């Protein structure tokens, strides 16, 4: 499987502490209160809430890196599910092109599964 390297950067929102203090008088800001699922009426004057930007770890992963590391696996999952549903639809409707769809889909699904479960990295 492809080894994913994550570049974490110092969270500027909480100054790498993991606790938000950007509200009035050192309280947590409204964005972090909302991220921590605090009800609307109790969002003000909350102290010690986890930082909503970094999740409380003090280091944040940029959005572009998160998207880069998750796009290919999500696309593979979507492709496999859609191909399996096309095969199921063709089988239930007794399509005359079932054999062609089965060969096409199984080749692509086999390539995806082979890529993600190969041991070439070990």
Mean pLDDT, rounded, for 94-106:
92
**Ranges 24-33, 37-46, 93-102, most confident:** 93-102
Which of the four pLDDT bands, split at 50, 70 and 90, describes residue 8? confident
Token pair listed for 112: 């995806």
Which of the four pLDDT bands, split at 50, 70 and 90, describes residue 120? low
Which of the four pLDDT bands, split at 50, 70 and 90, describes residue 107? very high
Indicate the domain borders of the chain.
9-60, 62-116
Residue-level pLDDT at 90: 93
Token pair listed for 114: 């082979």
Q: Residue 68 in 3-state DSSP?
A: helix
Which of the four pLDDT bands, split at 50, 70 and 90, describes residue 122? low
Please check the confidence at residue 106 and state whether its pLDDT lies above 70.
yes
Overall pTM surpassing 0.85 (yes/no):
no
Instruction: Return phi, psi of residue 10, to 5°.
Output: -60, 130
Quick: pLDDT tens for 35-81: 887 876 777 788 888 888 888 888 887 777 777 778 888 999 999 99
- What is the 3-state secondary structure of the chain? CCCCCCCCEECCCCCCCCECCCCHHHCCCHHHHHHCCCCHHHCCCCCCCECCCCCCCCEECCHHHHHHHHHHHHHHHHHHHHHHHHHHHHHHCCCCCHHHHHHHHHHHHHHHHHHHHCCCCC
Token pair listed for 29: 């800001």
Residue-level pLDDT at 3: 66
């Amino acid at each position: 499987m492809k080894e994913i390297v994550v570049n974490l950067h110092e969270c500027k929102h909480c100054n790498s502490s993991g606790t938000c203090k950007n509200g009035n008088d050192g309280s947590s800001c409204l964005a972090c209160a909302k991220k921590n699922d605090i009800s609307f009426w109790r969002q003000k004057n909350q102290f010690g809430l986890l930082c909503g930007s970094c999740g409380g770890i003090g280091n944040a992963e940029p959005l572009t890196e998160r998207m880069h590391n998750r796009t290919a696996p999500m696309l593979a999952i979507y492709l496999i599910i859609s191909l399996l549903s096309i095969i199921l639809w063709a089988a239930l409707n007794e399509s005359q092109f079932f054999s062609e769809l089965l060969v096409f889909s199984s080749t692509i699904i086999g390539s995806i599964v082979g890529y993600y479960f190969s041991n070439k990295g070990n």
